[in-house]
A and B are shown apart, each in its own frame.
Chain A
Amino acid sequence: MQVIKRLIIGFAGTALLASCGAGGDDQGTEYAPNMYHSVAYEPYTQITDKEAGRWVTSIEYVRDSSETNFSDHAEYHNSNYINPFHMNMRLPAPNTVSRNKSGYLPYRLKKDSLQFAAATLVSPLDTAAANAKAILADGKVLYETYCDHCHGAKGEGDGKVADKYAGVANLKGDAIKGVSEGHIFHVITMGKGLMQPHGSQVSPEDRWKIARYVKSLQAAK
């Protein structure tokens, strides 16, 4: 009997330890949990519960039960009550101009200025033959990242997503074949017809590279 009791205790112990592993919704047991929970605001971690991790909290914060006072939060709390939805991230202030090494300024043309953009915008990329190959190579990689699942590898509007999303333009079609790089840049930035603006995903320089590559696709037989 003694042996059986010990066996049961042993199995219970191992079962308990086995439950430390993660799986499904269970994150598993954290070793030294304080280290997993950042004191600084983390962009993709948000714990709004003030009491989270009270059991590992060793610092005595000033206790204050008012709604806006978060100075009494426990160890795991990671949330900025000043921001909307108490998020740790926030959008840049309106009209913020981001610094970039090429000195690109924000694109201020409106969506309906396509004709103006197509006629006036000139690619700032180097047209020297020495760099042309590198630009096209970059453009190809970017095209394969951002465009080809709809527009197809050769730009014929036959990407896999085009089966589900009707209205994907054939870049080699007669209506689009002759457009300028500025036209392509404007359409990537602002969208056109069913295509949505991709300016938030693709940087201006990358958009010009894609435009250059699309022109080379259109020229290809």
Chain B
Amino acid sequence: MPPDSRFVPLEVKPDTTPIMIKHFTSSLSKFLSVVTLFFLISFTGQSQSIPEDAASISAGQTLFNGNCKSCHKVHQQSVGPALKNVYERAPSIDWIKGWIRNSAKVVASGDEYGVKIFEEYKKSQMTAFTNFSDEQIMNILAYIQAETKKGPDTATAPATGAPAAGAETGGGLPANYLNVILIGMVLILVLLVIILGFLISSLKRFLDQKNLSEEDREVVHSPITASTISRSRGFIFIVTFLVAALGFKAVINGLYSVGIQQGYAPKQPIAFSHKLHAGDYEIDCKYCHTGVMKGKSATIPSVNICMNCHRAVKTESPQIQKIWQAADWNAETLSFGPNQKPIEWVRIHNLPDLAYFNHAQHVNVGGVACQTCHGPIETMDVVRQYSLLTMGWCIDCHRKTDINSKGNAYYDRLVELHNSSKPGTNMKVEDNGGLECSKCHY
């Protein structure tokens, strides 16, 4: 097969084409029509080999989604090339079949077009689909042809963006309106007070000019004024009491906040968002914090775990570039270099040295969810310490929580003993020594 045999279908029916060409070349003025017809014929010629019926296209769509979609899109370059027009671009339909079944063999045979593609896509080899029948491959091509004719789906991108923006403004407006209305009402009330004050003073002046009896004068100039109230013993007592009580509460709150780091949310060297990773993309906490089921520490993920995705995802971001620098990643050779340096994450949760805590015991054995202590971590862009991490907080949970004894033979006898000594109650952590000093302090 010659390397450039893209007009193979023309060879299939050689009897019609020369006549047509002869016929049309007789008139130079119809040169353009020749060109258009030439392409039309070549196109229909190929269409004869690629089926166009709906059944083939839908069968092809199923096959495409099942096997090709992860690396190929029809209109966009993905891992592999965009497949639009591939049946016209590739040397021949047979070439496509050979490539799909075993691209490595095609490249190894030194095929010019194959080697060119292999080089262009950084020598990443396409998975070999050895079991595809001719019919299946033709169905896939039928689907690609149908999609090519349909053209890129431009309508979807703005359509998905628009409702989101609409929802945002829709959610924000009522709150703003409420605030505006509240501020307006407060302003009106203040104005009313001022106007009333003016009214009172002018009324007083008006009444002073008249000859009033002694009793009426007392009504106008009441001995109980703002200054007499503020000097009264009762008022001073109430104010002092309120100030003292509030001050005392503030002092107590302040004293209790000493040594408690709840709410601590330091800026990290890389702006990693748990909301994006654990929330939006639903990556399991344990995927990165691998130690949580096995040891004391949940472990801060090592850089190679970031690089599992971020060698390809969002590589243009300056935050990702920091990961690349830490890993000394070379995007050209796709390898890690020798000049790796640790990322200095800031530790948030820190127990005093005198307390022992083990993640595996709580998460693996106890079946406690991460969120129980760390809060809604999947909604946090910047992680903050959610819990108090005080001893009282630990003890409280140990008093309230049932032991996760289901399917754990270690607890069988203990549960039996507990049920005989305290029938009708669940075995709590405190029943198994959860309040013993030496469980955590040793």
Residues of A within 8 A of B (CB): 7, 10-11, 13-14, 16-18, 20-32, 35-40, 43-46, 85, 87, 144-146, 149, 156-157, 160-162, 164-170, 172-176, 193-194, 196-198, 200-202
Residues of the A chain whose Cβ atoms lie less than 8 Å from the Cβ of B129: 174-175
Which of A14, A39, A45, A197 is B350 in contact with, Cβ under 8 Å? Answer: A45
Partner-binding segment picked from B162-170, B209-217, B243-251, B425-433: B243-251
A194-B263 contact in complex given A18-B254, A28-B257, A200-B302, C-beta closer than 8 Å = no
Tell me whether A157 and B70 are in contact (CB under 8 A): yes
Which partner residue on chain B sits nearest A163 by CB separation? B281
Return A3 CB to nearest CB of chain B, in Å. Answer: 8
Which partner residue on chain B sits nearest A26 by CB separation? B264
Tell me whether B67 and A175 are in contact (CB under 8 A): yes
Tell me whether A27 and B297 are in contact (CB under 8 A): no
Taking CB atoms and an 8 Å cut-off, the chain B residues in 87-139 that contact chain A are: 124-125, 127-132
A38-B283 contact in complex given A26-B264, A174-B67, C-beta closer than 8 Å = no
Tell me whether A14 and B259 are in contact (CB under 8 A): no
Residues of the B chain whose Cβ atoms lie less than 8 Å from the Cβ of A26: 264
Residues of the A chain whose Cβ atoms lie less than 8 Å from the Cβ of B69: 157, 170
Q: How far is the CA of A197 from the CA of B130 in the complex (A)?
A: 25
Return A104 CB to nearest CB of chain B, in Å. Answer: 14
Q: How far is the CA of A157 from the CA of B66 in the complex (A)?
A: 9
B309 in the interface (beta carbon within 8 A): yes
Residues of B within 8 A of A (CB): 66-67, 69-71, 78-79, 124-125, 127-132, 243, 247, 250-251, 253-255, 257-267, 280-284, 286-287, 290, 297, 300, 302, 304-305, 307-309, 311-314, 341-342, 344, 347, 350, 352-354, 385
Tell me whether A200 and B305 are in contact (CB under 8 A): yes
Which of A37, A165, A174, A200 is B66 in contact with, Cβ under 8 Å? Answer: A174
Tell me whether A36 and B353 are in contact (CB under 8 A): yes
Tell me whether B257 and A167 are in contact (CB under 8 A): no
Q: How far is the CA of A38 from the CA of B297 in the complex (A)?
A: 16
A17-B265 contact in complex given A35-B353, A173-B66, A193-B124, C-beta closer than 8 Å = no
Which partner residue on chain B sits nearest A36 by CB separation? B352
Return A22 CB to nearest CB of chain B, in Å. Answer: 4
Return the 4 tightest CB-CB contacts between A and B, nearest first.
A17-B254, A31-B259, A21-B257, A167-B79
Residues of the B chain whose Cβ atoms lie less than 8 Å from the Cβ of A7: 243
A39-B258 contact in complex given A164-B313, A170-B67, C-beta closer than 8 Å = no
Tell me whether A149 and B282 are in contact (CB under 8 A): yes
Q: How far is the CA of A13 from the CA of B255 in the complex (A)?
A: 11
Return B74 CB to nearest CB of chain A, in Å. Answer: 13
Return B311 CB to nearest CB of chain A, in Å. Answer: 7
Q: Is the interface of A mostly helix, strand, loop or mixed?
A: loop
Tell me whether B71 and A166 are in contact (CB under 8 A): yes
Residues of the B chain whose Cβ atoms lie less than 8 Å from the Cβ of A16: 254
Tell me whether A165 and B312 are in contact (CB under 8 A): yes
Residues of the A chain whose Cβ atoms lie less than 8 Å from the Cβ of B131: 174
Which partner residue on chain B sits nearest A25 by CB separation? B266
Tell me whether B260 and A28 are in contact (CB under 8 A): yes
Can you pick out 24 interface pairs between chain A and chain B where the beta carbons lie within 8 Å of each other? A7-B243, A11-B247, A16-B254, A17-B254, A20-B254, A20-B257, A27-B261, A31-B258, A32-B352, A35-B353, A44-B297, A44-B300, A45-B350, A157-B69, A166-B79, A170-B69, A174-B67, A175-B129, A193-B124, A193-B127, A194-B312, A196-B304, A198-B308, A201-B305
Residues of the B chain whose Cβ atoms lie less than 8 Å from the Cβ of A36: 350, 352-353
Residues of the A chain whose Cβ atoms lie less than 8 Å from the Cβ of B280: 160
Q: How far is the CA of A166 from the CA of B286 in the complex (A)?
A: 23
Tell me whether A18 and B342 are in contact (CB under 8 A): no
Return B389 CB to nearest CB of chain A, in Å. Answer: 11
Tell me whether A85 and B341 are in contact (CB under 8 A): yes
Residues of the A chain whose Cβ atoms lie less than 8 Å from the Cβ of B132: 174
- Which residue, A145, A162, A169, has most C-beta atoms of chain B within 10 A? A145
Which of B247, B257, B347 is A45 in contact with, Cβ under 8 Å? Answer: B347
Return B316 CB to nearest CB of chain A, in Å. Answer: 13
Residues of the A chain whose Cβ atoms lie less than 8 Å from the Cβ of B67: 170, 173-175
Return A151 CB to nearest CB of chain B, in Å. Answer: 10
